[in-house]
Amino acid sequence: MPTYYYFTCLKCRTRGGVFGEQAWGWGNFDMIESFKYLAHHIRTCGEDSIRVISEDVDDYVDQLHGEYNTFLEQTKHIFPHSKDWEFLDRWKTLKVEEMKLKWVEENRIMHPDDRIKIIGVLDAVDILKEGAGRVSFSASVTDDDGKVWKIVADMHELPILKHSYIIIGVMQEHSILGEVIEVYKMIPRVAAQEERGNDHDSGDNRTITN
């Protein structure tokens, strides 16, 4: 039996767009309707209201015909402008399996990317410089595979020890620390954000090594 998934809005309790999973894999996807639904409800209700649900969940809400026709009128001026239309027209003679491979071939990024991304737990921090509302620091991070990385960063505040972060940067040779990741972006995982809120409630228990 196929399972159908829909986008839903928690604020106005509607659903729209659909994509299905069959026994043989992912099936039909209403591309235009899904885009219209997402664009309309992000604009009117906010992106935090959007979720994906299946028709099997208890809080699935049926959409009445009149509601759907109203949605069509509300979104008639919203339409996806996409290079995918050109792709589909250009390769319309291909079979589906051939088109899958062709899309990957045409969208693969060939130019190099010097950035590196790690996801791991902050083990230790050394403050290098403080002032003007910013702090420069070096730190060690153990990623999910157990590898330890050295990082250097300049931020408004120190990250929290023993919390998990997504870190993006480039490898650099530091005059004192050796090979390090120079951090461009360092953001908590979702769980870490929740932990940060709990720590603020109970007081800051960070331990910084100097």
- CA 21 from centre of chain: 22
Question: According to the model, what pLDDT value does residue 59 have?
Answer: 73
- Better pLDDT: 190 or 126: 126
Question: With pLDDT > 90 as the criterion, what percentage of the chain qualifies?
Answer: 70
Question: According to the model, what pLDDT value does residue 58 have?
Answer: 74
- Residue 24 clears pLDDT 90, i.e. is over it: no
Query: Exposed, middle or buried, 85 (CB in 10 Å: 0-12/13-18/19+)?
Result: exposed
Among 17-26, 118-127, 168-177, where is mean pLDDT lowest?
17-26
In terms of DSSP H, where are the helices of the chain?
Answer: 31-45, 65-74, 83-90, 96-107, 190-202
Average confidence score pLDDT of the chain: 88
Instruction: Give the tens place of pLDDT for each residue, 53-79.
Output: 988 887 777 889 999 999 999 999 999
| Token duo for residue 65 | 């015909």
Query: Exposed, middle or buried, 124 (CB in 10 Å: 0-12/13-18/19+)?
Result: middle
Question: According to the model, what pLDDT value does residue 205 have?
Answer: 38
Q: Rounded distance, CA 89 to CA 19, Å? A: 22
Question: According to the model, what pLDDT value does residue 209 have?
Answer: 40
Phi, psi of 99 (to 5 degrees): -65, -35
Instruction: Give the tens place of pLDDT for each residue, 102-136.
Output: 999 999 999 999 999 999 999 999 999 998 889 99
Question: According to the model, what pLDDT value does residue 155 have?
Answer: 94
Q: Rounded distance, CA 80 to CA 71, Å? A: 16
Average pLDDT, integer, range 29-37: 94
| Token duo for residue 48 | 């935090």
Question: With pLDDT > 70 as the criterion, what percentage of the chain qualifies?
Answer: 90
- Better pLDDT: 28 or 50: 50
| Domains annotated on the chain, with CATH | 3-80 (no CATH), 115-202 (2.40.50.140)
- CA 110 from centre of chain: 22
- Better pLDDT: 1 or 20: 20
User: Given pLDDT bands bounded at 50, 70 and 90, which one contains residue 13?
Assistant: confident
Question: According to the model, what pLDDT value does residue 28 have?
Answer: 85
